[in-house]
Structure 1
C-alpha cells in the first residue's frame, strides 16, 4: 500500500498518539501542581527543540533547509502561540482538573470550523454552522452558567481551545508556501526561545524522582509528535482526525483513576454534544471536499 493511503495504520498511530498525549497531560498536571508551570513547560520545550533539530538535521538539506521560510513572521507567531497555549492549558489542569479542562478544550475543532471561513476563505455551510451552535451549547452545559456552580477558571481551557484553533488554522495557512518540516522546525525552536526567556525567571529545584517524571514528560512529548508525523504521512488527515477525540476519553480516565476527579453528569452530557458536533463538522468538511 502506498504512502498516504494506509488508513488502518494511520488510525492505529492516531490512537497511540492520543494515549501518549493524555499521559503527557497527566504528567504535566502532576508536575505543575508542585512546580511552576513556566519551568515545567520550559524544560519540556528544551527536549522538544532538541528533538526537532535532530529530526530536521537528518532531512534533505539539513537545518538550513528546514529553517528556510517565506513567512518568517507567521511561522514565529505560530511557535510562540503554541507555547503560550500549552502554558494556559496546563494552568487550566491545575485549577480545574483534567476532566473538565479537556471537555471544554475539545471545542477547538468547532472554533476551527467557525474561523476557517474568515482566515482560510473556506465555505462553511448552514449544516456546519448548526453543528457549531450545538457544540457550543454543549460547552454551556459543561459550564452550567447561572446555576451557582460556574467556575471562572473554566474560561482558561476555553481560551486555550481558541489559541490552539488559531494555531491549527495558521498551520494550514503557512502550509500553502512552506513544508511540514519547516513548520515543525519553527514550532519547536520559537517555543523553546519563548519559554527559555520566561521560564528562566521561575526555575525551581526538583527532587530526583520528579526529574525522572520530567524526563518521562519530555519523552512522551517527542514520541507523541513523532507518531503524529508518521500518522499524517501514512493516512489522510480527514480519515484520522475524528480519532483525536480519544484524547478526551484517555485524559478523563487518567483524571478519574489517578487524580480522583469526578465526571459530573453535565460534563459528560456536554462533552458528548461537543464531540458529536465536532465529528459532524469534520464529516461535512470531508463531504465538501469530495
Structure 2
C-alpha cells in the first residue's frame, strides 16, 4: 500500500465520521424547518470554514472545467435538498441505510457514465443492496412513503454527483469544487427561501453553524480522498457513517432499529463491500475514456 493510498483511506474515514455527525445534527434540525431553509443556513454559516481553508491553503486555483463544476454543484444541491426534506420524517438509521445505496448505484452507473464494466461482483452487490431496500420499505406491498422516495432520490443524485466529482478531480482540486458547490447551493436555496422562511432560534442557528462547519469538513475530506483512491473504495468506507448514526440515534433520539431495518442495512452494507471486491478475472474493465 503506497503512502498516497494510505492517505486516501485516512481521508475517507475522516469524511465518514464527519458525515455521520452531520446527519445526526440534520436529524435534530430537519423536523422544524423546510429543507431549502436548512440548506441555505448550512451553506451560509459554512462560509467561514471555506474561507479558512482557502486562507490556510493559499490562493484559490480557478476551475479548468466550470461547466462540469456547475453540473456537479446542481446534482449535489438536489441530493442535499431531497435528503434534508426526508431526514426529519425518518429514523436516522433508516435514512442513512437508504441514502447509502449511492455506492451501489455508482456500480450500475459506472459503465454508461464512466465507460467501465463493474464486473460480476459489482452487479451482485447492486442486487444485494436493492434487496436491503425492499426490507427497509416494509411493512406492506404498497408504494413507499414520500420520505422514502425523497431519500432514494437523494441517493441517485449523490451517485451522479460522485461520478461527476471523480471526473472533475482529474482537473480541479477539492477546495475549488467545494467553493463551487457552496456558492451554487447558496444561490439556489436563497431563491426559494422567501417562500419557506421561518425565523430560527439562537440554538438552531448554532446548530446550522455546526452543520455547515462539519459538513464542509466532510466534503473536503471526501473530495480529496476521491483524488487518491478509487471511487468505490471511498464510497464503501462511508458506511462507517452508518455506525455513527445508529449509535448517535440511539443515544440522542431513543431510536432502536427494528429487525427488518437491521437485516436490510446488513444487506446494503454487504452489497457495497461485494461491489468493490475485485477478483483477478472480474475487475473493472475500461472500455474507453470519458
Normalised by the shorter chain, which TM-score bucket?
Answer: 0.7 to 0.9
| Worse-matched range after superposition: 41-50 or 24-33 | 41-50
Q: Distance in 2 between matches of 1:84 and 1:229?
A: 18
Is there any run of 5+ residues in structure 2 with no aligned partner, and where? 286-290
TM-score by length of structure 2 reads 0.84
Contact 1:20 1:220 in 2 (8 A): yes
Identify the match of residue 288 of structure 1 among 271, 275, 283.
283
Instruction: Write out aligned runs for 1:197-276 (5 A).
Output: 197-228=191-222, 236-237=229-230, 241-276=235-270
| Structure 1 residue 218: Cα displacement | 2.1
- 1:25 corresponds in structure 2 to 23
Identify the match of residue 188 of structure 1 among 168, 182, 185.
182
- 1:40 corresponds in structure 2 to 38
* Cα deviation digits, residues 182-237 of structure 1 (max 9, x gap): 3233222212221222224433222222222222222222333344456567x634
Contact 1:49 1:192 in 2 (8 A): no
Identify the match of residue 170 of structure 1 among 164, 168, 179.
164
| Worse-matched range after superposition: 208-217 or 74-83 | 208-217
| Structure 1 residue 282: Cα displacement | 1.5
Backbone CA RMSD of aligned residues: 2.9
| Structure 1 residue 35: Cα displacement | 2.2
| Structure 1 residue 158: Cα displacement | 0.8
The answer to whether 1:4 aligns with 2:11 is no
CA gap 1:199/1:125 in 2 versus in 1, 3 angstroms: same
Contact 2:89 2:147 in 1 (8 A): yes
Q: Distance in 1 between matches of 2:77 and 2:265?
A: 25
Contact 1:24 1:217 in 2 (8 A): yes
| Structure 1 residue 160: Cα displacement | 0.6
- 2:288 corresponds in structure 1 to none
| Structure 1 residue 167: Cα displacement | 0.5
Q: Distance in 2 between matches of 1:33 and 1:139?
A: 23
CA gap 1:2/1:134 in 2 versus in 1, 3 angstroms: closer
* Cα deviation digits, residues 89-114 of structure 1 (max 9, x gap): 12111122211111111111110000
* Cα deviation digits, residues 119-171 of structure 1 (max 9, x gap): 11111223321221122112112213645795343111111100100100111
More helix by share: 1
The answer to whether 1:51 aligns with 2:49 is yes
TM-score by length of structure 1 reads 0.84
The answer to whether 1:127 aligns with 2:125 is no
Contact 1:106 1:274 in 2 (8 A): yes
| Worse-matched range after superposition: 88-97 or 240-249 | 240-249
